[in-house]
């Protein structure tokens, strides 16, 4: 997928405001005239990110599978089939290589942490460039990590259980922080990005790969039921607030989508930032709100989990729908 790179919030501001309701009416009509119709106007799409025309639920109101306990149980089952159904539809090897390219994995001796590393799919991309013994995979799901442990190229990686919002690494520890497809389950994404800043060495780089919010109404509905689909400008705001400089966002997507982003993407962008000073992030936050070990009401938990899992199913079907469209529509035609 050919990908534009957006530098910081400045390039987003002409169309998207930061936060919610960032579009005024003039901007809406501007968009409706086609300037943001991804795929129809390739000249403008590299400059103007497409924003949702309505507000998403605030990141501070977690969706049905955006609590740590729910994510834990979700992956208890999904880990069984994860590599077989998630990767082919949403997170292919070429997307992974594209997304890791801005992380500058340019030295085999770099110390790298892969946070929310799961079954190690992204780590397999990292160890192409960095010695496995220098790479730590962290995840809150022992079931996901069990799959990573079985992969031969990851045998020398350190594999540990932990929480992305409270990393068990010292301050100024790593040269690179990578996290792919995990932020959507963090109840407090800003806290996770602040942690990314803290554990990096001065000059170290964070590379966070995550979903992007849909613009099509039905996809927006299911996205808001399932998990966090941040907008591009939210990522940039979180990075900047944490203290990162040189913040960039690169769009990624499966090649059979032909650049279509209206259904959102589970892996839709790779955001990078550089840590300019040693020490902790300048951002002050209160105590962590949630722990995976915290007890929950089983009845509420059950219904939240079922509704979240149904919404997730919609996003398993979307790539199949797009794949069929790609087969049917002549090459070069927008889909
Ligand atoms: C979609 S998977 C991505 C796995 C892997 N990074 C990849 O590229 O395939 C999301 C992972 O994030 C983990 N996760 C969710 N919340 C987490 C948290 N608070 N701390 C650590 N890991 C978390 C899940 O257990 C799951 O393995």
Ranges of the chain with pLDDT below 50: 1-3, 8-55
Is residue 137 within 8 Å of residue 157, measured between CB atoms? yes
Q: What is the pLDDT of residue 122?
A: 97
Q: Is the CB of 140 under 6 A from ligand 1?
A: yes
Quote the crossing angle between the two packed helices 217-226 and 298-328, to the nearest 10°.
150
Q: What is the pLDDT of residue 209?
A: 98
Q: Indicate the pairing of strand 245-251 with strand 5-7.
A: antiparallel
Output the CA angle 43-47-48, nearest 5 degrees: 105
Q: Is the CB of 118 under 6 A from ligand 1?
A: yes
Q: What is the pLDDT of residue 121?
A: 96
Q: How far apart are CA 202 and CA 222, in angstroms?
A: 40
Give 270's contacts (C-beta < 8 A, 6+ positions apart): 98, 99, 100, 101, 102, 103, 207, 208, 209, 249, 250, 252
Best of 67, 69, 70, 71 for a ligand 1 pocket test (most atoms within 8 Å of beta carbon): 71
Q: How far apart are CA 280 and CA 199, in angstroms?
A: 8
Q: Read off the tokens for 330.
A: 């002549």
Output the CA angle 150-145-225, nearest 5 degrees: 135
Q: List the domains of the chain with CATH numbers.
A: 68-275 (3.40.50.150)
Q: What is the pLDDT of residue 292?
A: 61
Output the CA 281–ligand 1 centroid distance in Å. 23
Using the Cα atoms of residue 273, residue 276, residue 279 and residue 285 in order, give the sign of their dihedral: negative
Residue bearing tokens 């795929």: 39
Print the SS3 string covering 35-92: HCCCCCCHHHHCCCCCCCCCCCCCCCCCCCCCCHHHHHHHHHHHHHHHHHHHHHHHCC
pTM, to two decimals: 0.81
Closest residue by Cα to atom 25, ligand 1, is 141
Residue 96 φ then ψ, to 5°: -60, -45
Output the CA 115–ligand 1 centroid distance in Å. 7
Predicted confidence (pLDDT) per residue in 36-72, tens digit: 333 333 333 333 333 333 345 555 555 666 677 777 7
Output the CA 126–ligand 1 centroid distance in Å. 16
Q: Read off the tokens for 16.
A: 């998207």
Q: What is the pLDDT of residue 293?
A: 67
Beta strands in the chain (DSSP E): 5-7, 112-115, 135-139, 158-161, 174-180, 200-212, 245-251, 265-274
Q: How far apart are CA 68 and CA 141, in angstroms?
A: 10
């Amino acid at each position: 997928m050919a990908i534009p790179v957006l530098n910081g919030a400045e390039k987003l501001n002409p169309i998207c405001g930061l936060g919610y309701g960032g579009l005024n009416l003039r901007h809406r009509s501007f968009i409706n005239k086609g300037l943001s119709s991804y795929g129809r106007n390739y000249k403008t799409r590299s400059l103007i990110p497409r924003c949702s025309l309505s507000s998403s639920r605030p990141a501070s109101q977690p969706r049905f599978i955006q609590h740590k306990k729910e994510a834990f149980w979700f992956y208890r089952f999904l880990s069984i089939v994860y590599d077989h159904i998630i990767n082919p539809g949403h997170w292919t090897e070429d997307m992974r290589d594209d997304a890791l390219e801005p992380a500058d994995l340019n030295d085999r001796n770099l110390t790298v942490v892969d946070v929310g590393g799961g079954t190690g799919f992204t780590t397999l991309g990292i160890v192409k460039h960095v010695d496995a013994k220098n790479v730590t995979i962290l995840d809150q799901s022992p079931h996901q990590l069990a799959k990573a442990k079985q992969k031969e190229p990851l045998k020398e990686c350190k594999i540990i259980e932990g929480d992305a919002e409270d990393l068990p690494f010292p301050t100024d520890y790593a040269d690179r922080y990578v996290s792919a497809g995990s932020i959507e389950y963090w109840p407090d994404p800003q806290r996770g990005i602040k942690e990314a800043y803290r554990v990096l060495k001065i000059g170290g780089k964070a590379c966070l790969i995550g979903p992007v919010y849909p613009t099509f109404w039905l996809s927006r509905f299911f996205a808001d039921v399932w998990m966090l689909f941040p907008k591009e400008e939210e990522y940039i705001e979180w990075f900047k607030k944490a203290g990162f400089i040189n913040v960039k966002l690169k769009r990624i997507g499966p090649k059979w989508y032909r650049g279509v982003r209206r259904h959102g993407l589970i892996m839709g962008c790779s955001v990078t930032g550089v840590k300019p000073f040693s020490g902790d992030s300048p951002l002050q936050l209160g105590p962590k709100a949630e722990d995976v070990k915290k007890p929950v009401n089983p009845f509420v938990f059950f219904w939240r989990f079922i509704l979240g899992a149904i919404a997730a199913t919609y996003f398993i079907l979307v790539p199949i729908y797009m794949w069929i469209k790609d087969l049917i529509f002549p090459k070069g035609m927008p889909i």
